[in-house]
Amino acid sequence: MKKAILYLNQFFGQIGGEDKADFAPVINEGQIGPAMELNKNLENAEVTHTIICGDNFMGSNEEEALKTILEFLENKEFDIFFAGPAFQAGRYGNACGVICKAVKEKFNVPVVSSMHVENPGVEMFKKDVYIFKGGSSAAKMRKDVKVMAQFGDKLLSGKKLLPADEEGYFPRGIRHQVWLESEKPASERVVEMLIKKLNGEKFETELPIPKSDRVAVAPPINDLSKANIALVNTGGIVPVDNPDRIQSASATRWGKYDISKMEILQAGQFKTIHAGFDPAAADADPNVILPLDVMRAYEKEGKIAKVHEYFYSTVGTGTTQAEAARMGQEISEHLREANVDGVIMVST
Amino acid sequence: MANLIPVAKTVGANKIVPTISIPYPLGDPSTTKEQQWKLRYHRVGVALDALTIDVKEQTIFPVKI
């Protein structure tokens, strides 16, 4: 029998209501509250411990709460970790996401939760945690716990997992390559889709494009001659030893590289690791993707004040929008800290 | 700066300057180094100028070379 641990807030952990929301984390052997229901539904695992923490404690002392709970878990054996269900409770949803993400990172076990679609925890953690589409209130407790348990059983038994929508959790923005049961080749499927489309019939795409959230147009730079301009690219330009081991496709990593003492990007010093096109041209002259040479010319002419000391790089082939958005946010934080005024972004 | 303008539009780029290809956005290796430099200098210049322009919607900036 495998082992599971469940995280609950002070309310469902039967400590108390809002007045106990500052309750510091504890770990209990056995099952409390929803842990009993979870245990009843799990076929492949036993719930050995219940962790309880006040929502406000997690909200305002996140670091301490995480440290304490991860210490609790250090000497415990467990194969899967559950949190919630959190329904539409925002702080609880946040807490479930925070703890699940940390447990996954530290112990590398699957983490499963359940939240209502409106719970802000969904948007914040759906990339990191299997979050099932749950009810808005505790009236749905039994149903939501059952769903979590069934999926937990499936994970533990190593059965083939279906796409997010079919399993019932919020899509994590991860793509898998799978063989279809029908063995019908892509060429036939795409023609069938096209015929349906031409006939105005409904068809289901195999490559759903996530709804794009627009970024507002940045205010214009008033005086370019005073501006610090950075170079960013998705063409995979990196130092030849690729020190950050950025993937050649479906990248999840990016790198920043010092160019403050360079006039141009030298072949032999930089290359592209992008797997989506013939690298010959960019390897022979990396400036065709990362135009440092002409940026230096504009700097000398005084059209811009300076080229930012670092350029930023990742690979844009097969990269999901979710990963791209995260990397974009991380890079822009660096740019903002360095007082960069504008960015020239070259995509390939 | 992108070669696949429809993709750049779909993903929400607000200021778009066309490049010439996917593997070599800013310099065709079958042309001379001087021609490549001129093209790159021009298109990056257009992109720099674009940063100073107030636009209300997604805009593609025209290039001459």
Segment 4-23 of chain B within 8 Å of chain A by CB: 4, 8, 10-15, 19, 22-23
Taking the domains of chain A in order of start, what are their residue ranges?
A: 2-167, 224-346
Judged against a pLDDT cut of 70, whether residue B44 lies above it is answered with: yes
Residues A74-85, mean pLDDT to the nearest whole number: 97
**Number of domains forming the structure of chain B:** 1
Kindly report, residue by residue over A268-313, the tens digit of the pLDDT: 999 999 998 899 999 999 999 999 999 999 999 999 999 999 999 9
- What pLDDT band is residue A181 in, cutting at 50, 70 and 90? confident
- Of the candidates A214, A277, A347, the beta carbon closest to that of B23 is on A277
Q: Across the interface, do A288 and B8 touch by the CB < 8 Å criterion?
A: no
Could you tell me the pLDDT band of residue B51, with boundaries at 50, 70 and 90?
Answer: very high
May I ask the CATH architecture of the domain A2-167? 3-Layer(aba) Sandwich (3.40)
Write down the pLDDT at residue A176.
80
Report the relative pairing of strands A306-313 and A255-258 from DSSP bridges: antiparallel
Residue A7 makes CB contacts below 8 A (sequence gap 6+) with A51, A52, A53, A69, A81, A82, A83, A84, A95, A96, A99, A100
Mind listing the pLDDT tens digit for each residue in A152-179? 999 999 998 888 989 999 999 887 888 8
Nearest CA in chain B to A220: B52
Asked if A220's CB is within 8 angstroms of B54's CB, the reply is: yes
More confident residue, A108 or A163: A108
Q: Chain B partners of A209 at a C-beta cutoff of 8 Å?
A: 10
At A210 the pLDDT is: 66
Cis peptide before A85, with omega less than 30 degrees from 0?
yes
Q: Is residue A208 predicted with pLDDT exceeding 80?
A: no
Q: DSSP letter at A194?
A: H
Chain A residue nearest residue B8, CA to CA = A347
Q: Which domain holds residue B31?
A: 14-60
Is A270 in contact with A318 (CB distance < 8 Å)? no
Per CB-CB distance under 8 Å, the chain A contacts of B27 are 281, 285, 287-288
pLDDT for position A218: 94
Residues of B in contact with A278 (CB under 8 A): 23
Residue A211 clears pLDDT 80, i.e. is over it: no
Q: Are A255 and A312 in contact (CB under 8 A)?
A: yes
Confidence of residue A314 (pLDDT cuts 50, 70, 90): very high
Nearest CA in chain A to B36: A288
Chain B positions touching A271 (Cβ under 8 A) are: none
Residue A18: pLDDT over 90: no
d(CA A82, CA A63): 20
Hey, what are A279's tokens?
């690298």
Cβ–Cβ gap B51/A284 under 8 Å: no
The pLDDT assigned to B6 comes to 77
ipTM of the complex: 0.98
- pLDDT > 70: what percent of chain A? 99
The pairing of strands A228-233 and A306-313 is parallel
